[in-house]
Amino acid sequence: MTDPAANVVRGCPRRVCFQPVTRGIHRRRLDGGESEDEWLADLAGWQLLLTNHGCFSALTAAGIRGWMLPPLPEDTPVFVAMQLDDPRPLRLGIRTSRHPSPIPHDEVSGLRCATPAEVIPACARWLSFLDLVVLIDSALHRGDVTLKQLVAACTPGRRGRRALLAALPRADGRAESPWETLLRILHVVIGIAVEPRVEVYDKDGELIARVDLLVTGTKSAPEFDGGHHREPDQHRDDLRRERRLDLEGYVRRGYTASDVVQRPLGVLRDADHSVGREHDPARIRPPVGDAASVALHAGR
């Protein structure tokens, strides 16, 4: 897509090739454009309402950066950060946070975005525990931020600080999808230590697979299987990979979204068998004060 800012104008042009973004801001219609292109074009219009050091923040900036977000309501506002003495945009559909100093930002897709270490604490105000961990994993995996930077951003009195500090110990940037993160956390909260993204080699030193998770001290490999794993070519490759893992003594256990969210007892039963402990369904119940357990339990 071309620079989104090239498609926006102030005022109300009376041409059918323009459509409104908000009062007094219009943009060109994008024939055949993807929904993301439409969204970025709208944001370029909103950016005209900001001062030179105002920027997008929170969930809006996370979306611009391509991080993993949960499905958001259609009426989710545009989140921006501005200084205390900046004129605040008085429009429906925009939510402004005010700061004593300019928020550090950089340009992404032609849009001014708060830096990753500023965006994630802002998101912590609006996301649930699990969604926040998924978001952090996504940002870490892309190399956009480090845990050290996020800890440094948790300054006393900052909004979202408590939620972010609770989520950081559960974060791991090796996850490549939201469901890998949720499957990992499910194992952790039932007391099963796992290692993400483990490389498995055969006796000749050839790489067989990079498994989603490996139960520590075992050859049990829990993995998340999305819908694409049942496409013919992918299914053929998966079966070939599973046979090679089996030859090396590894047991691959594939799970779907419904297994993780609606039938976690099956995951627990398999995990108990992997480490040779007695199966106890009570382990799936959330201990008091364990945010990850409570969040998983609430999603069942």
pLDDT at residue number 267: 95
pLDDT at residue number 147: 96
High-pLDDT (> 70) share of the chain, % = 90
pLDDT at residue number 292: 62
Which one is predicted more confidently, 298 or 80? 80
- Encode pLDDT of 70-95 as tens digits: 999 989 999 999 998 888 888 889 99
Q: What is the pTM of this model?
A: 0.86
- Encode pLDDT of 146-159 as tens digits: 999 999 999 998 89
Of 27-36, 86-95, 119-128, the range with the lowest mean pLDDT is: 27-36
Is 272 contained in some domain? Answer: yes
pLDDT at residue number 295: 58
pLDDT band at 102 (very low <50, low <70, confident <90, very high): confident
Q: Are 111 and 195 contained in the same domain?
A: no
Which one is predicted more confidently, 184 or 15? 184
Give the residue numbers spanning the domain of 199: 178-298
pLDDT at residue number 227: 65
pLDDT at residue number 296: 56
Is 159 contained in some domain? Answer: no
Give 218's contacts (C-beta < 8 A, 6+ positions apart): 274, 275
Q: Are 210 and 105 contained in the same domain?
A: no
Residue matched to tokens 């996020």: 150
Is 136 contained in some domain? Answer: no
High-pLDDT (> 90) share of the chain, % = 67
Q: What is the CA radius of gyration of the chain?
A: 23
Which one is predicted more confidently, 236 or 140? 140
Residue 2 has pLDDT above 70, yes or no: no
pLDDT at residue number 69: 94
pLDDT band at 300 (very low <50, low <70, confident <90, very high): very low
pLDDT at residue number 171: 96
Mean pLDDT of 192-209: 94
Is 133 contained in some domain? Answer: no
pLDDT at residue number 118: 96
Q: Count up the domains in the chain and report the number.
A: 2
**Tokens read off for 110:** 């032609």
Q: Are 87 and 196 contained in the same domain?
A: no
Is 162 contained in some domain? Answer: no
Mean pLDDT of 92-100: 92
Of 152-166, 230-244, 261-275, 279-293, the range with the lowest mean pLDDT is: 279-293
CATH label of the domain that carries residue 218: 3.40.960.10
Domain boundary among 105, 122, 139: 122
Partners of 194 in the β-ladder = 215
SS (H, E, C) the chain: CCCHHHHEEECCCCCCCEEEEECCEEEECCCCCCHHHHHHHHHHHHHCCCCCCCEECHHHHHHHCCCCCCCCCCCCCEEEEEECCCCCCCCCCEEEEEECCCCCEEEECCEEEECHHHHHHHHCCCCCHHHHHHHHHHHHHCCCCCHHHHHHHCCCCCCCHHHHHHHHHHCCCCCCCHHHHHHHHHHHHCCCCEEEEEEEECCCCCEEEEEEEEECCCCEEEEECCHHHHCHHHHHHHHHHHHHHHHCCCEEEEECHHHHHCCHHHHHHHHHHHHCCCCCHHHHCCCCCCHHHHHHHHCC
Is 26 contained in some domain? Answer: no
